[in-house]
Amino acid sequence: MTEPGKQPGRQSGEQPGKRLRTIAPPFIAPGPSGVSIRDRLKNLTLHDEKVLRLVGAHLGSLASQDLKARCADGLEHSTTTWAERKRNLTAVSSSRWAGSITKATHDQWALARRGQASHLQSLEAGVKTVAHRLSLPIGEKGSTRAPGGYRSKGEWFHKRRRLAVLEDRLDEVRADRAAGVVHVARGGRKMANTRHHLDAARLTEPEWREKWQTTRWFLSADGESGKRFGNETIRITPDGEVRIKLPAPLADLANTPHGRYMLAAKVSFPHRGTEWADRVEAGRAVAYRIHYDVARQRWYLDASWTFPVVATVSMPTALARGVIGVDTNADHLAAWRLDPRGNPVAQPRRFFYDVSGTADHRDAQVRHALSRLLNWAQTCGVTAIAVEDLDFGDSTTREKHGRKRRFRQLISGMPTGRLRARLTSMADATGITIIAVDPAYTSRWGAQHWQKPLHAPTRKTSRHDAASIAIGRRAQGHPIRRRTAPPRNDQSDRYGHRTVQARAEALGGEETRRPVTDRAHDARARTGTQSGTRATSASTTVRDARSDQEWVQDSLLLTE
């Protein structure tokens, strides 16, 4: 039996003088702030595809020019320069197309700026780690908090040269950030570099050029609340008709009034189609994006909208039926169900996935594992799932783990961010609350206090299973350690009470097992044997204690 109600502190088995990291309290992860759905544009005519290609290429060139102008402004950007750029784009497109282009440009510049800040922090951490290891004697061992010295003089020499390279890169990034310079390419740097490695990518030059051009198209329109069907640029009726507002130079291609072109294809949105139709009929904002998949030779249309995030469930309500603790690993999720008192129930579960291969394959694997986890939670009746708030921001640097390449690849390959975002989004539709906990010491303390006691002849408890129990107990506010065992020489209280006791309000936590006669009063009559009817034995050291037979006889008389 375990003790509820305490926050985790120093666990038993830890060194008394060792300083532990401060553990943050658990919190309910916010749900999704928006929705994105997709449908395929089927039955497009050749003329429809020609119009879409012309519009995408024209607006894509305008977006590239606007991004160049925004990067040239740097930190000198202001509302005046923004309005001037929008006026220049309006003359060659439309006011709404210009607004969508400038907004996308600002989002892309801000994303590049955040990536630059992350790269700067990574370089600073690398320089600090290498400088620290160079200052130590060769061969000095490190600790869990700081790495030690390098193994040999040769490694020390090469790392000294690498420190100089990192310092040069750090100076360049600092200078760019101070000047507001960012390095960004429309279409992606990966696709741009693929041009020089066509053999490795198994692409010909025409195939690469087609992919490069399609990724640089611009066919995105922001929604507007209060307008007809929620979007004036790409208008979609509840029946699925798609009409596009053509830019000024391509207005002669319109086949409907007011410079609009109606596609022959219709959309239906099988997923969340009812919700989308309600928004469209009410005139609420819906953003659309049309894109072309070169590999499949298909056109798709994405619809997206946002909504405010509101916390509707409190922590006690979410934990009323227990919790499922989930330990995230490189190839599987280890999960164990806990009751409201923090005790593991039934058998642990594992949900495997494979994060190798393409991005679509990895995403599908993560979705499949999370779907099975949520289905199991609904079957158990649990309304809360506890996960670790992982990011590995300080562990993915190359310099911290040195030669441990496989370990660095293992950490970098764990889909922590994608898994957490997917889980909160998928759990929102099922009514399950996601609780994020501090990952400090969960694997270590879970293995120390729960791995060995939960071993059974038919079950071998792993370190990951024990960590899932630690995660669930931390979400519930219980300490990770189990109740302290009684003295080894006997089962009495000769040396005083146990160091960890259940609190007085935890009623029922200290009761003995009920007599079998309370559960089946006719068990002896049906089976004809005394087997299975014996209650919990009283201790022989207790004076004036009634025997088990007397308890059983009294119970039988009451039932008769």
User: Which CATH number does the domain housing residue 350 bear?
Assistant: 3.30.420.40
Residue 508 falls inside a structural domain: no
Segments forming the whole domain that contains residue 109: 45-192
With contact defined as beta carbons under 8 Å apart, do 143 and 149 qualify? no
Shared-domain flag, residues 155 and 60? yes
Q: Give tens-digit pLDDT for 228-238.
A: 999 999 999 99
Boundary-marking domain end, from 271, 306, 341: 306
Residue 472 falls inside a structural domain: yes
What are the residues facing 220 on neighbouring strands? 289
CA distance 274 to 480: 45
Sorted by sequence, the CB contacts under 8 Å of residue 95 that are 6+ apart come out as 86
37's enclosing H/E stretch is: strand 34-40
Task: Give mean pLDDT, residues 485-508.
Answer: 53
Shared-domain flag, residues 317 and 271? no
Residue 39 falls inside a structural domain: no
CA distance 500 to 504: 12
Boundary-marking domain end, from 192, 226, 260: 192
Shared-domain flag, residues 220 and 161? no
Count of structural domains, the chain? 4
Residue 483 falls inside a structural domain: no
Residue 94 falls inside a structural domain: yes
Boundary-marking domain end, from 159, 192, 225: 192
- Check pLDDT > 80 for residue 403: no
Confidence (pTM): 0.73
Shared-domain flag, residues 430 and 524? no
Shared-domain flag, residues 275 and 346? no
Token pair in block for residue 149: 């010295």
Shared-domain flag, residues 135 and 269? no
Closest CA to 424 of 354, 361, 366: 366
Residue 131 falls inside a structural domain: yes
> What average pLDDT does the structure give for the chain?
82
Task: Give mean pLDDT, residues 459-478.
Answer: 92
- Check pLDDT > 80 for residue 524: no
Shared-domain flag, residues 271 and 351? no
Shared-domain flag, residues 247 and 393? no
With contact defined as beta carbons under 8 Å apart, do 180 and 76 qualify? yes
Shared-domain flag, residues 325 and 471? yes
Question: Where does the pLDDT of residue 390 fall: very low under 50, low under 70, confident under 90, or very high at 90 and above?
Answer: confident
Shared-domain flag, residues 420 and 460? yes
pLDDT at 206: 94
Residue 12 falls inside a structural domain: no
> Regarding predicted confidence, which is higher, 556 or 230?
230
In the three-class reduction of DSSP (H, G, I as helix; E, B as strand; rest coil), residue 397 is classed as coil
Sorted by sequence, the CB contacts under 8 Å of residue 353 that are 6+ apart come out as 331, 332, 333, 365, 366, 368, 369
Shared-domain flag, residues 409 and 433? yes
Residue 511 falls inside a structural domain: no
pLDDT at 363: 81
Shared-domain flag, residues 234 and 317? no
Question: Where does the pLDDT of residue 76 fall: very low under 50, low under 70, confident under 90, or very high at 90 and above?
Answer: very high
Question: Where does the pLDDT of residue 5 fall: very low under 50, low under 70, confident under 90, or very high at 90 and above?
Answer: very low
Find tokens 């040396």 and name the residue.
495
